[in-house]
Each structure stands twice: as structure tokens, then as C-alpha cells.
Chain A
Amino acid sequence: MEGMTVIVKTIASWVKILIFVFGIYIILFGHLTPGGGFAGGVILASSYVLLMLAFGRKFVEQNLPLSLASKLDCIGAFLFALIAVLGLVYGGVFFVNFLYQKYLPGQPLELISAGTIPLSNIAIGLKVGASLFLVIFALSVCCKDLRYKDAKAESASNSSANKKE
């Protein structure tokens, strides 16, 4: 898909930074205020979708290629499973909050508190953001060359071949 006019491009390049920082804020403070990993990840993906709609697909492909987004997605899922397995190694039970109970309690209502909950939020936010960007990018790439006319020509040739037999 191609980009839009100059006005849209200028405003999108300013607003994109604000949306990105807002998404990171919602992820990091997920254990103190409403939000969490899922909402923050979707906001991160939507900042890149804004860039794709305003500037065109080829500009975003140089910025964040498809293979890098796919690798970030897998890294996020792997980090989440790693936190669970570390709970088994250090705490004795799968998925226990080992940082809060043993090593680093922290003060309640501060940023550094609640053990592994902020780390899980970061892993989930990374995973959800990269996945949704991947899907919307794949939607804009697909089916550029296979159009309705090709399908109709195929079915016409098929029916004429059937009539001959």
C-alpha cells in the first residue's frame, strides 16, 4: 500500500513517538495502575501500524523487516517460559514468584516491587506487540497479484474444458 499526503506524514512522525512511549509506560507500570502487558503490547503494535498507513509499506519494511519482527515474537514467548522455569529452579515450584518471596521484596506501591510481575509484563508486551504487527504486515503484503479477474478466467477455462469432455 502507498502512503498519504504531506500533512499526514508530518503529523504521524510526531505522534508515533508519543504513542510508543505511552505503550512502554502502560507496560512498565502494569502492577501499579490499570493496564498490563496485553494492552501495552497492542498499543506498541498500533504505533507501527500508524507508520505503515501514513508512509507506505516499503518504508516500514526497511525500518522493521519481517524476519526481525518474527524473531522478537519468539524471544518474548521464550522469556515468559524462562521466567516460569526459573521459578522451578530457585523456588521449588513451577511459576512461583521467587523474586518477591526470597530475594528482592521491595516496598509496596513503588516501581520496583512485586517480584517477577513486571518482568512477565515486559515479556508479554513484547510478544503481543510483535505478533500483531506481523499479522497486519502480512495482510498488506498478501494477494497483490492474484485478483478477481484471474479467478474468473480460471473458472471459465475449467468450464470450457469440462464441456469439451
Chain B
Amino acid sequence: MTEFYILMVFMIIAAIIAVETKNLLSSVICVGAIGFGGSLMFLFLRAPDIAITQIVVEVLGLILLIRATISRDLTFITGDREFFGTVISVVVVFVIFLAGVRVFETLPEFGTPIFAQTPGAASQTYIEKGLEETGAANLVASVILDFRAYDTLGEATVLFTSIIGATVILLYKSRKRLEESD
């Protein structure tokens, strides 16, 4: 259990540095550190599928962020901040945090999953009947591609739409340039 606390404290320190520093390149590198710590956390939480996906997605996300920030003229943030708005925001976020911690006392303790306590949960059926009904040895793959395949279809649609949106925004030629090239 101590490895969880060490990794969480590392991620929180990296998040505070990413939020507060004035250099954009430093904050992008700290976001990479948060993602790497998250991947190690997933490995210790016995989820190897998620650890592989998180680390490759975080590497590509870093390439996207660095492409947006490093070739621009401004890499330092200047200007003053409003004092009153910042204080009000910090107070509101702190009150939400205190109210939210009370909710976690109603959850079961860390280390016992919910399906061990409620009988007839869906996960119990997926574990017991997974191999006979789908034939896949990876239970997570049998859940996303056989028992819950609609969610995967929805996810493929969302990814398709967001990539089309990003490509159209980036490759858009304005009307003046089209008229000049004709």
C-alpha cells in the first residue's frame, strides 16, 4: 500500500508544478510526468491493459502539446492576475473538496470491490461465464467486444467525429487564399 501513497504524492507534486509555473515547456513536461506516474499506478492496481494504453496515449499527447507550444513566439506568460477572482475561486474549490471527502465514507473500503458485497452483480457473471460464452482468455477484451460491444461502437463513432473535426479545422484554407491561387 505504501507504493500507492508514494506515487500519488509524486503525481500531486507534479500537478502543482504544472499548474503554477510560468514556462509553458516546463508545464508540458510535468503533464508527461503525471501520465507516467498514472501508468505505474495502473500496473500496481493489477490492470495491465490500461497501463499499456495509458503510456502510449500519453506519449502521443505530449507530441501534440509540444507541437502547439514550442514553435510559437510566446513561451512565457505575462500579465497580471486579478486578485479578487482568484481568492473567490480558491475558496469555492476548497469548500467543494471538503464536502466531497465526506462522500467517500459511504463507499466501501479501498481494497474490497463492490461486486464482492452485492450478490448478482454483473461482474460476477462476466468472470464466471466469460470463457464459455465467448472463448476469450482476456476477460477485459471479452467485456468490451462481446458483452458490451455497443459501448465500443459508440467510442469508435466519437473518435471518428473528433478526428474529422480536428482535421477540418487544421486544413481549412480561407477564401482569400483560394481566390489568389485560382
Asked, given contacts A39-B53, A141-B170, whether A30 binds B138 with beta carbons under 8 Å apart, the answer is yes
Contact B150 A95 (CB under 8 A): yes
B134 at the interface (CB under 8 A from A): yes
From A9-17, A129-137, A156-164, the one touching the partner chain is A129-137
Q: Is the CB of A139 within 8 A of B160?
A: no
Q: How far is the CA of A125 from the CA of B30 in the complex (A)?
A: 29
- Please, which residues of chain B bring their CB within 8 A of the CB of A36? 49, 53, 138, 140-141, 144
In chain A, positions 109-140 with a C-beta closer than 8 Å to chain B are 109, 113-117, 120-121, 124, 127-128, 131-132, 134-136, 138-140
Docked complex: B53-97 residues within 8 A CB-CB of A: 53, 56-57, 59-60, 63-64, 67-68, 72-73
- Total interface residues in chain A, CB < 8 Å: 49
**Cα A68 to Cα B129 with chains together (Å):** 42
Are A80's CB and B134's CB within 8 A?
Answer: no
Chain A binding surface SS class? helix
Task: From A35, A117, A124, A143, give the contact of B156 (CB < 8 A).
Answer: A124
* Complex alpha-carbon distance, A138 and B138, angstroms: 35
A42-B60, A131-B160 as given contacts; A139 in contact with B67, CB under 8 Å: yes
Cβ of A65: which chain B residues have Cβ within 8 Å of it?
none
Q: Which of A26, A73, A106 has the most CB of B within 10 A?
A: A73
Q: A49-B60, A117-B134, A121-B145 are in contact. Are A34 and B160 (CB under 8 A)?
A: no
A100 B73 Cβ-Cβ under 8 A = no
Contact of A46 among B59, B73, B134, B138 (CB under 8 A): B59
Q: Which residues of A contact B64 (CB under 8 A)?
A: 135-136, 139
Q: What per-residue 1/0 map shows which CB atoms of A144-163 lie under 8 Å from chain B?
A: 00001000000000000000
In the assembled complex, the Cα of A73 lies from the Cα of B159 at a distance in Å of 11
Closest to A109 in B: B137
Q: Residue B153 at the A interface, CB < 8 A?
A: yes
Tell me whether A77 is interfacial, beta carbon within 8 Å: yes
Complex Cα distance, B67 from A31, in Å, reads 35
Question: CA–CA, A97 to B133, complex, Å?
Answer: 9
Residues of A within 8 A of B171 (CB): 138, 141-142
Q: Are A136 and B60 in contact (CB under 8 A)?
A: yes
- Chain A residues within an 8 Å CB radius of B49: 34-36, 39
Q: Which residue of B lies closest to A107 (CB)?
A: B135
Is residue A45 within 8 Å, beta carbon to beta carbon, of the partner chain? Answer: yes
Is B23 engaged at the interface, CB distance under 8 Å to the other chain? no
User: Is B19 interfacial (CB-CB < 8 Å)?
Assistant: no
| Cβ contacts under 8 Å, B149 to chain A | 84, 95, 120
A residues near B (Cβ < 8 Å) are 26, 30-36, 38-39, 42-43, 45-46, 49, 73, 77, 80-81, 84, 95, 97, 100, 105-106, 108-109, 113-117, 120-121, 124, 127-128, 131-132, 134-136, 138-143, 148
Q: List 9 A-B contacts (CB under 8 A).
A: A73-B160, A95-B150, A100-B134, A114-B135, A115-B134, A120-B149, A131-B163, A135-B166, A142-B170
